Every structure is written in structure tokens, then in C-alpha cells.
Amino acid sequence: MEFMSLEELNADQRIIDVIKKRGIERLNPVQTEAVKKGLMEGKRLLITSPTGSGKTLMAELGMISFLLKEGGKAVYVTPLRALTAEKYNTFKDWESLNFKVGMSSGDYDSDDEWLRNYDIIVTTYEKLDSLWRHKPSWLKDVNYFVLDEFHYLNDSDRGPVVESVAVRAKKKNILALSATISNYAKISSWLGADAVTTNWRPVPLKEGVIVQDRRKCQVIFQDNLTLTLNGSDAIIAYTLYTIEKGGQVLVFRNSRKMAETTARKIAAEMEKAPLNDKELLEVANRIKDVDDAGGNEKEELYNLSLKGVVFHHAGLSKGLREIIENAFRERKLKVIVATPTLAAGVNLPARVVIVGDMYRYNRKILGYQEEIPIMEYKQMSGRAGRPGYDDYGESLIVLRNKRDIEKIFEKYILSDPEPIESRLGNESSFYTFLLGILSTEGGLNKNEIYDYSHQTLLDREIVDDYLEKGISWLNENDFIEERDEKFRLTKFGRKVSDLYVNPFTAKTIRDYLSRAETSCELAYFHLLAYTPDGPSIGVSRAEQDQLIDEAYCPLFIDEPDDEDELYEYLSALKVALIVKDWIDEVDEDIILERYSIGSGDLRSIVETMDWLTYSGSHIAGVIEATEHSRKLEILNKRVKDGVKEDLIPLVQISGVGRKRARLLYNNKITTPEDIVMNPEKVKALLGQKIGEKIAKEAAKLIAGLH
């Protein structure tokens, strides 16, 4: 394996200076090979190498070299907002070379024209896809795209968007990055790029299994090294063993409930482990003070963190997840028990990764447990080994039966992940793709649409089949029209594309609102949640019987007979009831307990329903359903902050949320003008410092309005 000194780079000295400030003195073998293959000359590359092998630095070298030589702009794309923020903070280093770094995610009905002032733009795949549809002037100046975590191409949810972005981006200079692509030859050929692929890791990985056998557990590594530990729980036994040796542990479980239960069990045994009580108390107090989480989850995580253990899943608020991740990076927390979503997120290495479950429940097939994909295991195991702290990382799969050892080794440890395949091969994804093409490119004839669509990863025969059906369906449903032998978006199609909603979502909203009388708030929320873009949430057996009884007004959609459809119907109804409580100002802790959800779930539901009420209002406006549009517009203003209608004027002020707004309103401060006219009263209610800030923000808002 060859390393390259920074002096051998033949790069602008300013680039070398920035890298050296990070404590880097040489490039590792993956980075060296990428440089030799033309990374800094703007060559198109697909780089596949393990987690922690320095792919971000390769992206920086590629982007900065290109910008210094060619000018223009570079866009760095990630699949997750958390990653977007992480990369944005990293890239700020390059502002010393006078490159302005900007970041954008969310708010899909916007062209973000302000980004014209930035040279490096960090964003998500969804946001970039929506930007192309809005055609901001600055996008034509982007000639370099970095597509990070490119294996998301294989993800059933995000894959279609990743592929849509790649089809457009590969017309320019492109750098694609991934930890796991087994069929890299096919993917690099599709991108028109050279492949740089290696298994080199900065911290070697030892993989194996851990098998429970009565009151002992046996660890068997790939190199046949074995270890026997006492204990009736393999996860707890190996976790304690690792901590006693100064390591940190990531445990992955297949459900939130299992993650939380396992964290409690480990914490109960942690008095046997060496802990820094002062550091852990500081972490626990940060958890207690976070302001975007429910009281019960804060209390539980406070108590767990005092033992150096926490759980982590999407049900937690953003604030809680950030505290947990930072404390683990700082090596204060010793154990995180997480669901697999953490493995695909931010960079969070540990000495040991324990994969507790190789099966997960498939909700669509009652009682059916399916094996996890190899790709998912590779993502989890890739977190093992902390550069700078560990000589090697360990990844262990927990088995309940010795007879499974050979099978698990063969499938997960000794095999490559599943090949990357197109996820555009369904009506919903492909019709959305077609709508995006026409939105970005304008009017196209059928041959031009065919040529564009054949640039996807799908087989030509499948493309041709979906094209015929898609053009016909979009035409029949008034998304597109044919004029002068070219297909163009209709007014309705343009609005749907700008809103960045699925065409099937738009059709559902239009079909019901165009023929229905206005209804109650719950009915609107249920309709929006029942669309393909609606938030999905679990419904327990006990809840299924209760939910229908709680629908206190006629819904737009009748109860279906099909069992699968009924589950989706009830899930949408549960979402609707949650959002109704939210806008009625029900206390957040009561909502979380009433519906058995986490603060992260509530935030996610609110964010999605904020977007869908906004979209629904605009779709209703296009079809001239004026009363529906007006009602949805008011609901949109209420959903964002969770308020009754009388608080809408107050929550427009930055820093005024639902609780402060209600306190002010109950004390006869009902508008921004009231705040400006009564600053001393506001300070008395909210405190001197906050009151002063709110008064200034209210004045700014009034100045903007008038």
C-alpha cells in the first residue's frame, strides 16, 4: 500500500496548508490512488472504500482543485440533513482561500437564488432535485458535483431521487463516493467514470460471531481466534469486556423497543465498569436541559447516561441525538444502543460493533421475519475502529444457535454486498422522474424523452414499458399536454413539480378536494397523511380498534376493506389525530404518551405535514377549490408551530413558539404591534433578555410587512 506525502501532491500551497492544519501529513493509499487517477485534474471518478478511509478529503481535493483551475461552483450532495450539516462545517476551512460555503436543505418550493453568492454548496439529493425544477440562475455555473453515500442508489425510498440527480449530474464533472458498491464496474461505466476501489482501512477490521451457550458465550473471529466469556447475555458480556479494556461499543438492535430495553440492561451492569462520573454528569445535564424533547425521554436518558449508556433512534429529537453523538465522539459515553439508521448517518466510530439481530420484522407479512441485507450489515460493521484510538476494530454478530455459524460467516462476513440496482422501476418513481425531466428541460418530443430516460440505470426494455404508460398517465391526468409534437407541463403539472410532491399524491389531493365539500381539520390531515408522501407511523393492535372511534367528523376517504390498505388508512388517521392535538396546543408530553411516539417522531410528522398542508393549499388553488385552499392555508400556518388560529400573528415572530405565544396572548399581547407598544410588559412576562430580543424581532417583522 502506497502513501503519498503532501509535498508530492503538486498542489497549490494553500491547499496543502489547509490540510496540514488538520494534522494530516500524508495521503493514505486510497487517496494516493485517487490522485494518481486524476482526482486533482478533474477526472470523473467513482471511489469505493471503507468507512473512515478519508473520502471526504478526496472530495475536497477534487472540488478545490477544480474551482481554482476552472472557476464556477461545486455542489456536494448527501442523502441526510445531518450529513449535510457535518460536511458544511468541514468545508468552512476552505473559506481561507476565499471560497464561500453555503448549505441548503428542505423548503422544496424555492429556487434559493441567494446561493448565487456561494462557491461550494452542500445540499441533499432531494433539495438538489427540486432546485433543478426551479431553475435558479446559479445552477448553470455548477460544473462539479460530488455525490456522497452513492450506495443510496439502492435504497427503495431515496434511490429514485439519487438516480435522478445522477442522470443530470453526470453531464458535468462528477465524483461519486461510497463505502460499499460491489458492482462498481457497472456503476462506474454508467457514470462514465474511472473506478478507484480498495478494501484498505485506516483501522483493520476483525469480524466474527458471538454465540450464547447457557451461562457462557463464545466469540469466534474470522481468523479462528476464539474467546470464551462468562455471562448469560452475550451483548452485555462483550460490552463490559470491551469497556474494561478502554473501548467504546455500538450495539445495533432491530427495533426501538429492543434498543431501549438493551440499553437499560447494560446500564444495570455498568457499576462493574470504570466510569468518569464528573464527565457523565455533565452529559446528563445537557440532556436534561435540551428544549426540543419530551420530559419522559429526557429523564430516562438522563439516568442512563449517568451509567455511560444511552439508546439512539429516529424517535429521539434532533437535540438529544446531537448531544448523544457528540458525547460519544468525545469518548464520554461508553455505549450507544441504536437502530440501524445510525449506521447510515453521521460518522460515529467505536472500537466494537455488536450486531444484535440478523432478522427484522416485515410489517406487510404478518409474523414474518426477514434477514437483513448484506449492505446493511456492512454499513453497521464499517463503524468499528476509531482512527487515532484503536489498532483494530471488531464487529460481532450475535447468534442464538451454533448451527447458524457457518451460514452467517458465509453470507455476511465473507460475501460482498448486494449489487446496486435502479429503484426507478415502479410507476410512482418513474412518473415522478418523467415529471422532473419535463420540468427541468421544458418541452420535449417523445424521442427526446426516450433518449433522456435511457440514461438511467434501468434496462432499456423496462424504460420503454414505463415510458409508454407514464406519458399516457401523466397526459390523461392533466400533468402534461402535447402541443406541436412536444410534451410540456400543464399549469397543474408545473405546480406539482415545483411543490416537489409525488404525482400520485397530487392526484389524490385533487380528486378528493375537487368533488368534496369542506370538512373538519381532521379530515384534511387524514387525506394528506394517506397520500404516498404522507408520514407513516406504527399502529398497534390495541390502537386499531380505537382509532376509528376517534374520528369525530366525516373523513374524505372511506374505510377500505383490504387489510393492508386498512393499516395504511389507520396509520394516516393516527397521524391526523396527532397533528390535530398539536395544533390544539395539547402539551407535547401528553401527545408523546397518548400516541406512544418519541419527540423525533413528532417533529418529523409536523415537518412533513407542514409541507403537505402547504402543497395541498396550492394544489387546491390551481384547481380553483378556493374554500379548501383557504382552509389548508390556515392549517399550514398552525401546523408549523402547533397553535390555535388566534396565535398565528404571534408565532410569525422569530423566537416566539407556542408556549410563549400563549402566555403573551393570555396577557392581552395578541399581535406584533402589541409587543412593540408594550416592551416592558413583554420583558416582565418573558424575562429581560428574551423580552428585549422578542421586541426587536417584532419590530423587524412589522418593518418587513409594511
Over residues 301-344, the pLDDT tens digits come to 999 999 999 999 999 999 999 999 999 999 999 999 999 888 77
pLDDT value at 52 more than 90: no
DSSP E strands, 32-150: 45-48, 73-78, 101-104, 120-124, 142-147
Over residues 2-51, the pLDDT tens digits come to 899 888 888 889 999 999 999 999 999 999 999 999 999 999 999 999 88
> Which position has the higher pLDDT, 172 or 342?
172
Task: Give the whole-angstrom CA distance, residue 81 versus residue 87.
Answer: 10
Long-range contacts, 65-68 (Cβ 8 Å, 24+): 65/11, 65/12, 65/15, 65/39, 65/40, 65/41, 66/42, 66/143, 66/144, 66/173, 67/99, 67/119, 67/120, 67/144, 68/12, 68/15, 68/97
Over residues 188-222, the pLDDT tens digits come to 999 999 999 988 998 999 999 999 888 899 999 99
Q: Give ∠ CA 193-199-203 in degrees, rounded to 5.
A: 130
Q: What is the mean pLDDT of residues 457-480?
A: 94
Q: Note whether 630 and 520 are within 8 A (CB).
A: no
Q: What is the pLDDT of residue 199?
A: 87
Determine if residue 652 is labeled as part of a ligand binding site.
no
Kindly indicate whether the domain formed by 205-413 is annotated with CATH number 3.40.50.300.
Answer: yes
pLDDT band at 368 (very low <50, low <70, confident <90, very high): low
230's CB contacts (< 8 A; 6+ apart) are 215, 216, 237
pLDDT band at 273 (very low <50, low <70, confident <90, very high): confident
Question: What fold characterizes domain 503-642?
Answer: Sec63 N-terminal domain-like fold (1.10.3380)
Over residues 540-590, the pLDDT tens digits come to 888 888 888 888 888 899 889 888 889 999 999 999 999 999 999 999 999
DSSP E strands, 101-204: 101-104, 120-124, 142-147, 173-178, 194-197
424's CB contacts (< 8 A; 6+ apart) are 159, 160, 163, 164, 430, 433, 456, 457, 458, 466
Domain ranges of the chain: 4-197, 205-413, 427-499, 503-642, 648-705
Q: Note whether 174 and 59 are within 8 A (CB).
A: no
pLDDT value at 348 more than 90: no
User: Which three cell numbers mark 645?
Assistant: 388560529
DSSP E strands, 162-215: 173-178, 194-197, 205-213
User: Which three cell numbers mark 190?
Assistant: 454508467
Over residues 443-453, the pLDDT tens digits come to 899 999 999 99
Same fold: 4-197 with 205-413: yes
Q: What is the mean pLDDT of residues 127-148?
A: 95
Q: What is the mean pLDDT of residues 255-284?
A: 90
Find the Cα–Cα–Cα–Cα dihedral 193, 194, 200, 202, rounded to 10°: -60
Q: What is the pLDDT of residue 431?
A: 96
pLDDT value at 363 more than 70: no
- The DSSP bridge partners found for residue 361 are 369
Question: What fold characterizes domain 427-499?
Answer: Arc Repressor Mutant, subunit A (1.10.10)
pLDDT value at 364 more than 60: no
If one looks up domain 648-705 in CATH, what number appears?
1.10.150.20
If one looks up domain 4-197 in CATH, what number appears?
3.40.50.300
Q: What is the pLDDT of residue 518?
A: 84
pLDDT value at 706 more than 80: no
Over residues 64-82, the pLDDT tens digits come to 999 999 999 999 999 988 8
The pTM assigned to this predicted structure is: 0.92
Q: What is the pLDDT of residue 345?
A: 67
